[in-house]
Amino acid sequence: MSGELHFLGAAEAGRLIQARKLSPVELVDAFLRRIDAVDATVHSYITVLADQATAAARAAEAEIVSGGWRGPLHGLPYGLKDNFYTKGIRTTAGSRLTQDDVPSRDAAVHSRLAAGGAILLGKLSTYEFGTGTGEGLFELPFPPARNPWNTACFTGGSSTGVGAAVAAGTAMFGLGTDTGGSVRLPAQACGVVGLKPTYGLVSRAGILPNCFSLDHVGPLAWTVENAALALRAIAGTDPDDPASANVTVGDYARDLHTGISGLRIGVLRRFHERDVAADPAIGKAFDAAIAVLTDLGAQLIELDPPVSLQDFRNCMRILNTAESYAVHEQDFLERRAEMGAPLRDKLIAGACVSAADYLKAQRWRRQLAHLVDGWFASCDAVVCCGATRRAPRFDDCAGIVAFTTESAMAAFNISGHPALSICNGFTDNRLPLGMQIAGRWFDETTVLRVGAAYERATAWRQTRPACAATDPPRLDTAPEAGTAPPAAEDAAVASALARRLGIENPTLQELGRFSAQFRSIEAAARRLPERLPKDIEPLAIFRPKVTP
């Protein structure tokens, strides 16, 4: 084999390996050389497992030669976001608190990939514990992943390294976690495919949690077919995950070439046309993509839901901060000085959530999920924007926060429906744009089918990033942003919160953080519905109402 093997698609590589026209050793070596060549610039990895990957490639080659081919991922190299447990290999979660932790077990999905013969290249960059909106990355113990299209720009997150690795060719595919868009945001920023499956389809066992009732696991890959192959390998019931659904795993790549003529596709413009001030390039690319779907024979149905992006965001903020605090309470109380400021602020916000507001948000979530599910009564799939902005520069902190918080990703974490992020163009300065394709619960097959049809009809997969260093901002020693002391009327509230948490003699800066986060949570709680029917029950662990 010759050429750039690190840009070979997973599906094609799998077929070549099965036919013994490509050696897993040759393929893994190509990716390790690619990591050596560009990762000092891209920073997609926290830990590279060169020796282990090479040994696994030799073992895979021996198995295949002796007739022991395990399936389409046998011999293919991949990466894991560094919040997946890997037995005997450190799992840092991008945090000082866990930067030297070595788990004694594997995440369930890692075990499934290993059983299929896939080869782990290493652990990929992430926000601290996979949480946050993107600010404060330069105060963490590992350098943040850079966008391969322009290394001065943000990668999206929190599966930052996975998006960067797939785009840069330092991993053939990767797995990330998605709580409010953390698979799909880096997919859009880095111009790759990112799939958040239905809640409960893929096990989360052995993964450091962010928010129990919103966390999903999903693949990122260069093409829809490659994502479909990865999904087939990792999907399925797992008794070790309490949210796992009892489902039969299908062949998600089976219908990718059947086209979409006659499919009913809902078109949801509200999110990027009315709810936020979207980048004009997002709307232009979306309209062009809709025209492609029309040419492919889809029947388009305009949707205009009675809820905004902010409704989903407010509901998610209450749930996410409260559950994250429950996960990290002990570390927050004992070791918060070692945390990055964004994580500390989120946990303070979580400590401010009342039980009544948390349960109200869960009840409101049921209503929102029911509303989203109603879209699929008349549609086979729905298309909408993903992020509403192009990837900002790292020195544009406000733009980074807006890229995350003004996206439409959270809607499908709240509802649990599958959602695919796919590239639908580029800006005039060659930064990727994207859109989402969502579907019925557990109907990933149709979602991927629509994505594959669009992908074949466009030329976006023909261009790869240069991964060249381009004026990266010098933020590696950026100081933590301070928080002003609370105003007199807020000081009592802040002090009461500190006492409730057992924090003695809080500093003025800490009191300022408590005050600011309490006010932000209070504002989000006020935006929840004033009244909900009394018979709507909350679900601490959300489940779709129907599982096949």
Active centre residues (catalytic) = 81, 158, 182
**Contact (Cβ atoms closer than 8 angstroms) between residue 415 and residue 543:** no
CA distance 154 to 139: 15
Q: Which residue has the tokens 């900002």?
A: 392
CA distance 545 to 192: 31
**Nearest to 268, CA basis, from 389, 375, 422:** 375
Sheet of strand 173-178: strand arrangement: 45-48, 119-124, 77-81, 173-178, 216-221, 193-196, 419-426, 432-439, 381-385, 264-268, 299-303
For residue 382, give the 3-state DSSP assignment: strand
Q: What tokens were used for 28?
A: 């893994």
Q: What tokens were used for 83?
A: 């919040």
**Contact (Cβ atoms closer than 8 angstroms) between residue 302 and residue 267:** yes
CA distance 465 to 230: 23
CA distance 195 to 230: 10
- Kindly list the distances between the CA atom of residue 521 and the CA atoms of 176, 347, 500, in Å, as whole numbers in the listed order: 28, 11, 17
Q: What DSSP element (H or E) covers 402? A: helix 397-405
Bridging pattern class, strands 299-303 and 264-268 = parallel
Interaxial angle between packed helices 280-295 and 444-457, expressed in degrees from 0 to 180 and rounded to the nearest 10:
100
Q: Which residue has the tokens 């859009």?
A: 188
**Contact (Cβ atoms closer than 8 angstroms) between residue 470 and residue 150:** yes
**Nearest to 298, CA basis, from 332, 275, 264:** 264
Say if residue 21 is exposed, middle or buried (CB neighbours under 10 Å; 0-12, 13-18, 19+): exposed
Q: Give start and end residues of each alpha helix (H) in 78-214.
A: 108-115, 160-168, 184-190
CA distance 434 to 436: 7
CA distance 77 to 412: 29
Q: What tokens were used for 505?
A: 């003699």
The Cα diameter of the chain in Å comes to 76
Rounded to the nearest 10°, the torsion over CA 107, 111, 116, 121 is 60
CA distance 20 to 14: 10
